[in-house]
Amino acid sequence: MNSTQIKCLSVFTIFAMIGFGPISPGCLIGMYIVLFRPFWFWILTGNLYAKKRLPQTIVEIDTIQTKQTRKKCFFSLVGLFILDIAPVPVTPVVAFAIILSRPKWFYQAVARVYGKGEHKLQGD
């Protein structure tokens, strides 16, 4: 487990504790990331996947694929936001699984949202 995983787990533990109300901070931040693609999240993803073998992912900037992925991710986060209204926060549990297992599909989704490939994530 690397230091970025530990920091992310700490943040989502706090989100799980404060997420028992109708607002899910994890979903709101996720929607912000999908809409505005801040550079800090690109760096965070690179650090999260440090020393993990990743598939080759080549995506052109602002293509139809990137826009479709952003729409799918945004509506998925809206769905999680609605589910989080229930008394048990769902988003932090999903985030814990992603942070701990670092699945390839999540890395590929981030690369498609940002319109960047693996080679750019590793050395950007």
Instruction: Indicate the domain borders of the chain.
Output: 3-123
Least confident range of 15-29, 41-55, 66-80, 95-109: 15-29
CA nearest neighbour of 70 among 35, 107, 98, 40:
35
What is the rounded average pLDDT of the residues 40-66? Answer: 80
Alpha-carbon separation of residue 43 from 22, 38, 88, 96, 98 (angstroms):
30, 9, 30, 19, 16
pLDDT in tens, 59-105: 566 677 788 999 999 999 999 999 888 777 789 999 999 999 999 99
Structure tokens that stand for 124 in this block: 């950007």
